[in-house]
Amino acid sequence: MKILFATSNQNKANEIQKVLPDEIKIITLKDINLKEDIPETSPTIRGNALQKANYIKEHFNLNCFADDTGLEINALNGAPGVFSARYAGPQRSDEDNMNLVLEKLSTLEDRSARFKTVIVLQLDGETFEFEGIVEGKILEEKRGEYGFGYDPIFEPENCGKTFAEMEMYEKNDYSHRARATKKMISFLKERMQ
């Protein structure tokens, strides 16, 4: 089965392809030559994922899935949340975003946070949703060289390492995206039988 992942972020595509079974191959927006950004104007993570999946279905009539992910920090009332990618501005800089979070938390004790991913799958005219959440905390400084986004400052519960200190196979044992993806994979495997 070939399915479109509505992203141009190759890091995310690689992360998801690693947990997919061999019989499911993903293509990305690059593969269909879509260069413009798909609108993400919803005030919720779920809404953005739905908006992206619907856009592909309406404009290309392809089976597809889209995800949206947010970092929700309790002491910041759930921010950056739906604005995680552009928290420090439209330049979408991982460094700027992390620095802003660290600055805002610098005088606060509660550093608890969670990553949430919602995947919306458009398959044969039907819509399905899958959610993955990982609880953890924001560290006081960056650690690790792997990953992307907020990975160097987020440490999952009971782990002792940031996502950026984990190899891909380790991260896929913990990550919110992997958890949502595994739910989708189970669904697809049942569907393919």
User: For the chain, which domains are there?
Assistant: 2-192 (3.90.950.10)
pLDDT value of residue 31? 92
Catalytic residue flag (residue 68) = yes
From the list 31, 37, 67, 68, the catalytic residue is: 68
Straight-line distance from the first to the last Cα atom of the chain, in angstroms, rounded to the nearest whole number:
12
Q: What is the per-residue pLDDT for 69?
A: 93
- Provide the pLDDT for residue 19: 80
**pTM more than 0.85:** yes
Distances (CA, A) of 154 to 98, 138, 179: 10, 5, 17
- Tell me the C-alpha distance between 151 and 142, whole Å: 9
Residue 168 has a pLDDT of 83
At position 75, the amino acid (one-letter code) is A
Place of tokens 């995680």: 84
In this prediction, residue 56 carries a pLDDT of 95
* pLDDT at residue 16, rounded to an integer: 83
pLDDT at residue 133 in the model: 97
Longest Cα separation, the chain:
54
| pLDDT score for 172 | 84
Alpha helices in 31-175 (DSSP H): 45-60, 94-105, 168-174
According to the model, what pLDDT value does residue 161 have? Answer: 96
Which ranges of the chain have pLDDT less than 70?
Answer: none
d(CA 10, CA 153): 21
Residues 6+ apart with CB under 8 A from 179: 117, 132, 133, 134
